[in-house]
Chains A and B, each alone.
Chain A
């Protein structure tokens, strides 16, 4: 098959938006012919986006192929110098983080004493959470301790964040300190 004769970089380009002109320039054959062949592959004409694996701290590069608003394929990023296209079992299955039927797709609320979740909209959830935070903070806020300004609440905790992006951890650390939260911990400890 034609595709097997291409090196993989050329193939990637072929599968992208610029396929038509590249095919002619780089390969010297007719674009229709190429489309006819690549169509058989699920990664033909996908959008390819580089990412970094979300599992361990090695930081392998992964290419995410998307088409028709779903993730159709993922593979090791050959350009990333850390993994040079190789992946472990977890990195290989990253696509299922999108496709798994177990993914949470709606905000869920559990009322006190209830046996079940209820679906709620984001607006209600965030408004209610903000109210709870304010109630707890206001009822527990300590401005001074033995003459020293301490501006804290010891009734709210924040846990986790090792899987968040740097920018997210930054805003989270800033917001929690801003609220006076001192029980602030994440997976580095456990």
Chain B
């Protein structure tokens, strides 16, 4: 989230799309209710009339997988009706930049496309630059190749008629959404966009998020109270685990992992030169990288050995979830660890992921429960144990209140949890187990003289001499030290690239600035202004609560409006002051060089309406899901041209003639993710005890299905049995004159726990977004029938 939960009370309009917070983030809704009490409006856009929709002022239905037309039409509406915040757009975005003549767009394809590799040559999408390398601009936004004019042209095709034909949204509902949300373009109004997996789990997931951000930039809604682009996280620490790089392509703090396929990455020098932009905050990247290497390799990281850079693994391919399971399915992996994860229920095309686990030689699962994934080899999983040679180690894990440590919520607030009780039975905290395993492995490698064993030998692992690791030492290592004095660092501004500082994750540096002062433990709940609670816990980066808050003030440093002030330039003190920590250099005056651009992480300090970095185009464009009931109305390109297609046995594709119904997955308030944390509890199991599939009255009638009937849902990947839940919450769509049905189902169920049921993900496909490879769980094709037919 650019903003935070408490800040939702400051919004004049919340557009909730691809998410259902009233159900899945229930307590967040208190702050939306407060906003409503102050006159704010809530818009819910969802294929189904959800609990969130029931609390909304405006509800609009859309067919799964059509967010880009929906928002693209809003962009056209805002531009045509002069509902954009012009000065903000001209000064704080790249709307004024001139794009080189190479760029073009025709029938669904941008220039530079190579069909054979399904990739784009992004050098065709670059800006014109002056001799000093700065972009050429036209702040009147009239130049025909200015980003603004190209954007206007691109979205001119997204007229209301075409949009509603594709999304299936009733026209009046659509216009209500446009009018209500675009009214937040006024400087004294703010609108927020809240989203979750309904947005990201598509083959165009990244562009879905991008188009929301673009609309927010046009309306001047980023960096202000009650504004922003707010991803609602589904797990208590999926924010933190992402920040700490439990993803193949990152190192902690969003530093790119070095790759064997980039020749420059062969050396630290080359890597830093290649990956460090000349301007913007990322120009400090060498300090973050070298400090990380010092945290990981300690004294074994020296100037002479590139600070241990060569110890890091360098991959040569995409190792993300779908590819990982395909490799496992082919028998290319020998062993795997699973820490509190359950892909046999939660993974896409879960039947195949279960089969893949059986190809491993060994599997280590650490969990509070015997999950479906840890016991994939059992008869009740549909497996023949005698034919599965995988050795499985199941380790009992402590619950969150049986240990201590911090978690980072969606607001980036790093809150500490204290230990309430000793672990149940022989369960142990993951920290202790990871620590002990590391020590054992280092022990096994201790005497080796092989060069291959140097990386593990060099890993600095000093967390106290007791049997349990000293968590305080881990916290301090993350924050980082001045290695000359041994003192903790006050923040990432103090990091250096000469090996004299360390920090295990630069974005968190500053949370532990002095001995005895772990700021994640703070519990002062006095509102310091604006609902920002600056003395409660710690928000990365540097306790900033509203990111890009420089944008709340105009170029001269005055707030755009009194109502939406966050920080402003105080000429007397020569300082940015306000109710939040400035997300900006606090002493840089607006009239100094670099005193205007609020988007400090971007090279030019502005928001990217035109993003030449994405794999599938500098502007979002509509493509149909991998499995779609209709042809793409916008171009000949049916599927995102840059998406990797993995067909064959591992991922069968269903035809819409055989599987005409659109399906999506969702969650219920009483269960959580793959269900292992809720279906193993008595009360929650009783509250929602059965797997169900929700459908419209119209579809039920066509199929002869009554409420509570047992039905079969089938896709090209498999079949599941469930109870029918016939409601008015789904309605058939009229898509290009054709009636299209959509159904939905929870993905919480499996065969373990108190409440059991068939697994929805047996139906979902192994195809991912063109940038992130996040699977397309939220739009696929199926058919339904009564179980007794």
What is A's interface to B at a CB cutoff of 8 Å?
47, 49-62, 64, 66, 69-71, 79-84, 86-91, 93-94, 96-98, 100, 102-115, 117, 122, 125-134, 136, 138-141, 143, 145-175, 177-190
Cross-interface CB contact of A149 among B314, B413, B505, B669, cutoff 8 Å:
B314
B678 within 8 Å of A by Cβ?
Answer: yes
B334 and A51 contacting across the interface, CB-CB below 8 Å: no
Of A57, A136, A170, A178, the residue contacting B334 (CB under 8 A) is A136
A100 and B684 alpha carbons, distance in the complex (Å): 12
Neighbouring B residues of A157 by C-beta, 8 Å: 324, 328, 333, 335-337
B385 pairs with A188, CB closer than 8 A: no
Q: B311 touching A110 by the CB < 8 A rule?
A: no
Whether B340 and A164, one on each chain, are in contact in the complex, defined by CB atoms closer than 8 angstroms, is yes
Chain A, residue nearest B197 (CB) = A190
Question: From A86, which residue of chain B is reached at the shortest CB distance?
Answer: B27
Given A170-B244, A182-B248, A190-B321, does the pair A156, B336 have CB atoms closer than 8 Å? Answer: yes
Judge whether B425 and A58 touch: CB under 8 Å. Answer: no
Q: 16 A-B pairs, CB-CB below 8 angstroms? A: A84-B30, A115-B385, A136-B361, A156-B336, A157-B337, A160-B341, A161-B241, A161-B340, A165-B404, A166-B407, A168-B430, A170-B477, A177-B313, A181-B313, A187-B235, A189-B775
B310 near A151 with CB under 8 A, answer: yes
CA distance A70 to B421 in the complex (A): 7
Distance in Å: Cβ of A71 to nearest Cβ of chain B: 6
Query: Does A90 contact B678, Cβ atoms closer than 8 Å?
Result: yes
Give the distance to chain A from B307, nearest Cβ to Cβ, in Å: 14
B6 touches A113 (CB 8 A): no
**Nearest CB in chain B to that of A47: its residue:** B420
Known: A93-B681, A154-B333, A160-B338. 13 other contacts (CB 8 A): A56-B235, A58-B27, A64-B421, A105-B396, A115-B378, A128-B393, A130-B441, A162-B340, A171-B469, A175-B459, A178-B311, A181-B313, A183-B327
The number of chain B residues with a CB under 8 A from chain A is 163
Contact in complex: B451, A143 (CB < 8 Å): yes
Judge whether B316 is part of the interface by a CB distance below 8 angstroms: yes
User: Chain B residues near A110 (CB, 8 Å)?
Assistant: 377, 390-392, 394
B688 to chain A, nearest CB (A): 9
Contact: B418 with A51, CB < 8 Å? yes
Please state if B773 and A178 are interface contacts (CB–CB under 8 Å). Answer: no
Interchain nearest-CB distance for A154 vs B (Å): 7
A110 to chain B, nearest CB (A): 4
Set B24, B370, B455, B772: member contacting A151, Cβ < 8 A: B455
Q: How far is the CA of A97 from the CA of B251 in the complex (A)?
A: 32
Q: Is B367 an interface residue (CB 8 A)?
A: yes
Q: A57-B238, A93-B684, A112-B391 are in contact. Are A170 and B505 (CB under 8 A)?
A: yes
Indicate whether B240 reaches chain A with its CB closer than 8 angstroms.
Answer: yes
Does B175 belong to the interface (CB within 8 Å)?
A: no
Is the pair A170, B478 in contact by a Cβ cutoff of 8 Å? yes
Given A89-B669, A106-B396, A49 and B681 touching (CB < 8 A)?
no
What does the 1/0 interface line of B236-250 toward A look like (CB < 8 Å)? 111111111111100
C-alpha spacing A143/B452, complex, angstroms: 6
Set of chain B residues within 8 Å of A98, measured between Cβ atoms: 399, 401-402, 421, 424
- Against A, the Cβ 8 Å flags (1 = close, 0 = not) of B742-758 are 00000000000110000
User: Which residues on the A side are within 8 Å of B785 (C-beta)?
Assistant: none
B410 to chain A, nearest CB (A): 4
The answer, yes or no, to whether B148 is at the interface (CB within 8 Å) is: no
Task: Point out the residues of chain B lying under 8 angstroms from A96, CB to CB.
Answer: 681-684
SS of B interface (majority): mixed
- Cβ–Cβ < 8 Å partners of B420 in chain A: 47, 49, 51, 64, 66, 71
Chain A interface, DSSP helix/strand/loop, else mixed: mixed
In the bound complex, how far is the Cα of B396 from the Cα of A22, in angstroms? 40
Closest CB-CB distance, A119 to chain B, in whole Å? 9
Q: Which of B318-370 contact A (CB under 8 A)?
A: 319-321, 324, 327-328, 332-341, 343, 346-348, 361-362, 364, 367-370
| Alpha-carbon distance A98/B333, docked complex (angstroms) | 35
Query: Whole-angstrom distance from the CB of B504 to the nearest CB of chain A?
Result: 6
Q: Indicate if the CB atoms of A115 and B386 lie closer than 8 Å.
A: yes
With an 8 A cutoff between CB atoms, is B445 at the interface? yes
In the complex the two chains form, what is the Cα distance from A120 to B27 in whole Å?
41
Least Cβ–Cβ distance between A117 and chain B, in angstroms: 7
**A104-B369 contact in complex given A97-B677, A127-B440, C-beta closer than 8 Å:** yes
- Bound-state Cα–Cα, A3 to B338, Å: 47
Residues of A within 8 A of B396 (CB): 103-107
Instruction: Pick out which of these stretches binds chain A: B54-62, B114-122, B219-227, B431-439.
Output: B431-439
B549 within 8 A of A: no
Chain B residue at minimal CB-CB distance from A104:
B396
A residues in contact with B678, CB < 8 Å: 90
Residues of chain A contacted by B242 (CB below 8 angstroms): 186, 188
Contact bitstring B386-417, A, C-beta under 8 A = 1, else 0: 11111111111101111111111111011111
CA distance A171 to B463 in the complex (A): 10
Given contacts A59-B407, A122-B428, contact A169 B319 (CB under 8 A): no
B136: min CB distance to chain A, Å: 38
Tell me whether A112 and B389 are in contact in the complex, defined as CB-CB below 8 angstroms, given that A57-B25, A59-B410, A107-B426 are known contacts: yes
Q: Which of A49, A115, A143 is the one whose CB lies under 8 Å from B418?
A: A49
Chain A contacts for B584, CB-based, 8 A: none
- Contacts of B438 on A, CB cut-off 8 Å? 171, 175, 178
Q: Is the CB of A188 within 8 A of B241?
A: yes
Chain B residue contacts of A106, Cβ below 8 A: 396, 425-426
Nearest-neighbor residue (CB-CB) of B263 within chain A: A148
Interface flag for B256 (CB, 8 Å): no
* B523 CB–A CB distance under 8 Å: yes
B112 at the interface (CB under 8 A from A): no
- List the B side residues contacting A70 at CB < 8 Å: 421
Q: Scoring B residues 449 to 462 as 1 if CB is less than 8 Å from chain A, else 0, what string do you get?
A: 00110011001000
CA distance A182 to B245 in the complex (A): 12
| Interface pairs A-B: 10 shortest CB-CB | A105-B425, A57-B233, A165-B405, A160-B341, A59-B409, A152-B313, A49-B420, A88-B26, A162-B235, A178-B459
A102 touches B252 (CB 8 A): no
Given known contacts A71-B421, A136-B334, A188-B241, A80 and B394 CB-to-CB distance under 8 angstroms: no
Q: Is the CB of B681 within 8 A of A104?
A: no
